Amino acid sequence: MQNKKGILVISSGTSNEDSIKSSIKTIENKIAISFPDYDIKSAFASHKIINKLKARSGMHICTPLEAIENMMKEGFEEVIVQLLYIIPGREYNRIIESLAPYKKHFKKLTFGKPVLCDEDDYGVALEGLKHQIPELKEHEAVVLMGHGTDHEAQKYYYNLQRHMENEGANVFLGTIRGYPQIGDIIKALKKKNINRVILMPFMITAGYHAIKDMASSKENSWKSILEGSGFTVDTYLNGLGSNPYYQDIFVKRVREAIEAGGLSWK
């Protein structure tokens, strides 16, 4: 009998159902098309989001542990776990550590890499961004909002910013947590005499942070802070998951996990 093979796609999740469809489900569908011999399963890491979606619309989404338990019960023998994350931060590693003990229940259980992991990944990430960044005029720039972390993986954001600077791109990456934050970005913008900014989420989904913390009119949103500092601000409310180039990055990560056995970067 042929091995039953599956790909478990895990994201932090979002309660924005439009973003689930345009980002998370779009990536899952592209993975399914690319690997027709594998069944696709999905899970969200956030219990809060899972509970909110269930209460609001009756949507049932598994946690990572529930999903892997179900796959074990359903007789899967080979499982590829692909997390839809930008960096290998605290939550990313916590999920892997929680699932790693299940290796003994499968013939093969491997984990795909995040978007940013190796030195070559920065150029790939920037190239993907070019597909959604409009042509910028003089004194215009794009400001990306990343989630950020207090984990050492914050260095990946910093390294990507350095790579963009080396490429001469007028793109500035700030984070909600860690460095750089919006105040640091404003200093850099003024140093380059920027007067118009396009805000974009550097996250898989355009969920709460993108809608409320980045683009809303509330006093402490990035949009309001930038406007209060004299910038003209436009917003782009699509997560990276809706960018075909980033979808292809995750397809590549799955392929690497299948062919090379997963987390060689650890």
Each domain of the chain, given as residue ranges in start order, spans 5-116+242-260, 133-237
Which DSSP helix (H) or strand (E) runs through 171?
strand 171-175
Is 209 one of the annotated binding-site residues? yes
CA-to-CA distance for 255 and 35, rounded, in angstroms? 9
User: Do 5-116+242-260 and 133-237 share a fold?
Assistant: yes
Query: Can you say how many angstroms the Cα of residue 120 is from the centroid of all Cα atoms in its chain?
Result: 18
Nearest Cα to Cα of residue 241 among 46, 22, 33: 22
Question: Which pLDDT does position 261 carry in this prediction?
Answer: 57
Full-model pTM? 0.93
Q: What percent of the chain has pLDDT over 90?
A: 91
Q: Where are the beta strands (DSSP E) in 161-223?
A: 171-175, 196-201
Q: What percent of the chain has pLDDT over 70?
A: 97
pLDDT 10s digits, 141-168: 999 999 988 889 999 999 999 999 999 8
Q: Domain 5-116+242-260: which topology? A: Rossmann fold (3.40.50)
Q: Residue 263 above 50 pLDDT?
A: no
Out of 131, 147, 151, 163, pick the active-site residue: 147
Is 163 one of the annotated binding-site residues? no
pLDDT 10s digits, 26-60: 999 999 999 999 999 999 999 999 999 999 999 99
Question: Which pLDDT does position 266 carry in this prediction?
Answer: 39
What confidence tier does 265 reach under pLDDT thresholds 50, 70, 90? very low
Respond yes or no: is residue 139 known to be catalytic: no
CATH 3.30.1360.20 for the 133-237 domain, yes or no: no
Buried b or exposed e, range 73-95, using 16+ CB within 10 angstroms: eeebbbbbbbbbbbbbbebbeeb
pLDDT 10s digits, 80-120: 999 999 999 999 999 999 999 999 999 999 999 999 999 99
Degrees, nearest 5: CA angle 47-243-193: 105
Lookup: tokens for 263: 């987390």
